[in-house]
Every structure is written in C-alpha cells, then in structure tokens.
C-alpha cells in the first residue's frame, strides 16, 4: 500500500541558455529540451539571464573559425535553481536520442558525471594539460538534492571564483575558464584527492566539426560535413556546430526524431 503522506521524488531536466551576438542559445534550447522531454518523459526547466546573471568568457566557434563570446559559466547554480529532487543537467547542444540516461537514476550517487567522450574520427585525451589530471564533461550530468551534492556545487563555485589559483595548482594549460575543468577539480577534491571512476556509463559522442546535415535512416544517423558522411548508431549526440543547431535542417531532424520511437 502506498504511503499517501510521502510524495514521489520529482525528477526533471535542467539546461542553461544565454544568448550571444552569434548564437540564439534559447532558440536551440527550445528544440533540444522539447526533444529530451519527449524521449525521457521528464519535465524540463530552462534557466536564462533573468534568473542567472551571465558572466562573459569566450569559446572557439568551429563554424566561424574564431573565438566568440560565451556566457555559460553559472553551471554551479544548478543545485540551488533546480526545482527537482533528481536533476539531469544537459547543455543545450546535447541532443538526447534515447532513454539510456534514465538508467543512471537506478544507481546510487549524490552526483554523477560524464567522464569519457570521443569524436567521429578520434578519441579525446581528457587531460587538463600535459602534466595535469583528467577532466570531466559538464555537458551532461545529474545530481540529487543531498548535502554532498550541495558541497560539490559549492566547491565548483569556489574553484570558479579562484580560478587563477586552481589553474596553477592543477597545471591547467588553457587560460580560459571551463566548466569541465571546474567540475573535475571539485570532483577530485571532494573524493579525498583521488581520481574517481564512477561515471555516466559509456562515452559521449561529440560531433566537433561544422555539419551540413544529419538524417535518421533505419535508426542510424547519417552525419554529413563538407567532405564526407559518417554513419553512427542512434545515440545521444553532443553537437558543437551552433550554426547547424540553428538551421532548418536541425528543426526538421528534431521533428522527425520526436515521431520515431527509439
């Protein structure tokens, strides 16, 4: 018999979007979150400038071949801003294609991160520098509202606010602040200065080149860039080309996927 006094744990998807001159992140988020919500059967929340003041940084834009403005450095606020007991946080350029992420909620953790990623043509060396430690991918992660998860996000905030110090301490090569690095540093410290191994299972597929089109054919993706086509199984995709994500082709793909059960 169900205890009527105890409410079901709420679970949902959370994303951050801060528009820049070059990219309409909110527009992209509307498409990818709607798709994620439909596939995972979870509600979603989008956090934008009105509740999360953006801080400027820059990132390399693969479509324009230059560094552009990037304002998404408030990821540590996810803990306080999430309305859910269990939250799956995704970047707006992370395209959910199947229900595999639901399985992580059967596991025991306070927070869980993505540790591995590969591209269509290469494996990434996930190190913060030649003499540094592995980083994690803050593109997709999940957390529960526990004191340890709270501590994790507080630590990320501390790392962000003292990034110059932590950059030196961890032998980080890049000068730019990266969420991936602040997450990795907080993760290592919180785990007693060890390299944790618990991870969202599998490796995240990142499409890191400008894209012309992506088609879903027989439950496989045909991804075309300017030179060739790649065929991959239907899987969650991290797409770096914001130009593609803003294109009509992507809108058509989202509509098509929404109608095809994974």
Partner 1 sequence: MRLKMSHHKANQGFLTFAKNSETVDYLQLAYIQALNIKSTQRYNLYAVVVDNKTNELITDKHRAVFDYIIVADSVGPFDAECQVFWLTPFKETIKLESDLLFTRSIDHWWTTFRLRDIVLSLGCRDYKQNLSDSRRYRKVFDDNELPDVYNGLMYFRYSHTALNFFTQAKQIFEQWANIQNTLINCRDDLASTDLVYAITALIIGKEKCTIPTADFINFVHMKPAINNFNESLKFTEAYVTEFDEGMIRVNNINQYHPFHYYIKDFITTDMENYYDRFRPRNN
Q: Which residues make up the interface to partner 1 (CB under 8 A)?
A: 130-133, 168-171, 185, 188-189, 192-195
Least distance to partner 1, CB of residue 159, Å: 12
Least distance to partner 1, CB of residue 140, Å: 24
- Of the two residues 103 and 191, which places its CB atom closer to partner 1 in the complex? 191
3-state helix/strand/coil string of 93-156 = CEECCCCHHHHHHHCCCCEEEECCEEECCCECCCECCCCCCECCEEEEEEEECCHHHHHHHHHH
- Using DSSP bridges, classify how beta strands 44-47 and 137-144 pair: parallel, antiparallel or unpaired: unpaired
- Of the two residues 77 and 189, which places its CB atom closer to partner 1 in the complex? 189
Least distance to partner 1, CB of residue 185, Å: 8
How far is 163 from 175, CA to CA, in rounded Å? 9
Q: Which residues contact 241 (CB under 8 A, 6 or more apart)?
A: 62, 63, 207, 209, 210, 211
- Of the two residues 180 and 246, which places its CB atom closer to partner 1 in the complex? 180
Least distance to partner 1, CB of residue 112, Å: 21
Least distance to partner 1, CB of residue 84, Å: 32
Instruction: Give the residue from 42, 32, 26, 45 showing the smallest Cα distance to 251.
Output: 32
- Of the two residues 81 and 189, which places its CB atom closer to partner 1 in the complex? 189
- Of the two residues 146 and 199, which places its CB atom closer to partner 1 in the complex? 199
Backbone angles phi, psi at 193, to 5 degrees: 55, 50
Instruction: Give the residue from 218, 200, 132 showing the smallest Cα distance to 169.
Output: 132
Backbone angles phi, psi at 71, to 5 degrees: -120, 10
How far is 75 from 159, CA to CA, in rounded Å? 12
- Of the two residues 37 and 132, which places its CB atom closer to partner 1 in the complex? 132
Least distance to partner 1, CB of residue 29, Å: 34
């Amino acid at each position: 018999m169900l205890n009527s006094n105890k409410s079901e744990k709420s679970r949902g998807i959370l994303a951050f979007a801060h528009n820049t001159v070059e990219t309409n992140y909110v527009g992209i988020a509307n498409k990818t979150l709607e798709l994620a919500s439909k596939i995972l059967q979870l509600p979603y929340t989008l956090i934008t400038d009105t509740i999360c003041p953006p801080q400027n940084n820059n990132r390399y834009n693969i479509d324009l071949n230059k560094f552009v403005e990037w304002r998404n450095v408030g990821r540590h606020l996810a803990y306080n801003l999430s309305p859910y007991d269990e939250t799956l946080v995704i970047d707006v350029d992370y395209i959910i294609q199947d229900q595999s992420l639901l399985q992580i909620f059967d596991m025991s953790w306070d927070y869980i991160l993505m540790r591995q990623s590969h591209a269509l043509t290469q494996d990434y060396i996930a190190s913060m520098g030649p003499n540094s430690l592995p980083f994690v991918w803050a593109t997709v992660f999940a957390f529960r509202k526990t004191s340890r998860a709270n501590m994790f996000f507080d630590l990320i905030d501390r790392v962000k606010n003292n990034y110059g110090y932590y950059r030196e301490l961890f032998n980080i090569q890049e000068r730019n602040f990266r969420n991936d690095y602040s997450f990795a540093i907080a993760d290592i410290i919180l785990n007693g200065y060890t390299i944790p191994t618990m991870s969202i299972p599998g490796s995240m597929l990142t499409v890191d080149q400008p894209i012309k089109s992506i088609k879903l054919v027989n439950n496989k993706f045909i991804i075309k860039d300017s030179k060739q086509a790649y065929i991959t199984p239907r899987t969650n995709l991290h797409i770096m080309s914001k130009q593609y994500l803003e294109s009509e082709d992507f809108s058509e793909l989202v509509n098509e996927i929404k109608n095809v059960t994974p």
